[in-house]
Amino acid sequence: MVAILQPHIPHYREDFFKGLQQRQACDIFCYEDSENARNENFHTARINIAGLKKIEIKGLLIYNPLPLLRSRYKVLVLMLHFGHLTTWLLLLTKIFHRKKIILWGHGISVKRYLEESRKPSRLLKYMIRLTDTVWVYTQEEQALWKRVFPEKRIESLNNTISGLEKVLKETGADKDAIKAKHGIAQNRILIFCARFNTPHRRIDILLEVIERLDSGKFGFIIIGDGRLKPDFSKYKNVYDFGGLYDPVIKAELFQAADIYFQPGWIGLSVVEGMAYRIPVFTMKRQESVLQCVEFAYIREGFNGLLFDEVNSLVRAIENIPDTDLCRMGGNARTYVNDSLTMDHMVDVAVLTLKQLQ
């Protein structure tokens, strides 16, 4: 049996854990309560979990390891996070408790990505050396760590979201009818779907693009809430739906869009956009624009476009032919169907767990 540690289970991870539990006996332990998750604008999953007591001081976490050390658990899936002091303890005492350990995480600091892609974190290196297996989010980080530990079992789960299988079965929708239903008047529509919880989203670039584009021709659908959310009410071409979790309405809004646009800190919403045949426009990863690991799913000119600065971004939005958007959107959907389904993510996890037991 397997014990899995997480802070909490967001809604987009629900299908992963349900799929895992159908094929592998496992219990899920969370050290954050649902109120903390809601405060960060997370919508939590409907799945059974057990709570773990924890103490957190200045980024260092101590959680109660005793429930994880029960004899029925042969494998522990812990977080690849060097600030988790209890995880260090469990790694260093493997000779005594004799449990196999998988460390699961980004495998790199999003904030220090450029630096660590050249010189991986020394602390993460020590953790990985001590563990049995590693799960990382994308093939980029898998390749990074395989260069350091060529003999270590390091798997890319190809991080994805719940509900994709239903999206991939969609055969198309009447875009004009959806736009009319929601009062969207412009011809070309960009959609942004993310929490406004960090300045690294580069909302300043989003606002600049809104202000520079012709409001009669270009519309923006906004999905998301958060403490850093600006007031969009002054823009007549912005359609703000807030923190939206109604799957029917959300699907309609994605089907109405032509471009998924998020300037920075782009994450799992890129997968949702691509599944709806929407190409992704974002800024290139650079010192001033941080991007999450799912940025690796965007292939320049194939399923999206990457930009060095705002001028070229605005020109592309204004001038790119519909045929190019359709081509990249079709490629985006094919890429999701081939590489980013939840079945694939569960398959990799289950195979790894079975080989460890």
- 163 pLDDT above the threshold of 90: no
Which H/E stretch holds residue 16?
helix 14-23
Q: Convert the pLDDT of each residue in 283-331 to its tens digit.
A: 999 999 999 999 999 999 999 999 999 999 999 999 999 999 999 999 9
Which H/E stretch holds residue 46?
none
φ/ψ of 320, rounded to 5, equals -65, 135
42 band by pLDDT with thresholds 50, 70 and 90: very low
Residues 261, 192: Cα–Cα separation, whole Å: 5
Q: Convert the pLDDT of each residue in 101-125 to its tens digit.
A: 999 999 999 999 999 999 999 999 9
Task: Look up residue 195 and give its DSSP letter.
Answer: -
List, by residue range, all CATH 3.40.50.2000 domains of the chain: 2-160+341-356, 164-339
Question: Among candidates 107, 113, 112, 110, which has minimal Cα distance to 147?
Answer: 107
Question: Among candidates 163, 162, 128, which has minimal Cα distance to 144?
Answer: 128
3-state secondary structure of 60: strand
The overall average pLDDT reported for the chain is 94
**What mean pLDDT is predicted for residues 7-17?**
92
Beta bridge partners of 280: 260, 304
2-160+341-356: CATH class: alpha beta
One-character DSSP codes across 329-356: HHHHHHHHHHH--HHHHHHHHHHHHHHH
37 band by pLDDT with thresholds 50, 70 and 90: very low
pTM: 0.91
Task: Look up residue 286 and give its DSSP letter.
Answer: B
Query: Which listed CATH number (1.10.3720.10, 3.40.50.2000, 3.30.70.100, 2.20.25.90) goes with 164-339?
Result: 3.40.50.2000
What integer pLDDT is reported at residue 36 of this predicted model? 56
44 band by pLDDT with thresholds 50, 70 and 90: low
φ/ψ of 240, rounded to 5, equals -95, 115
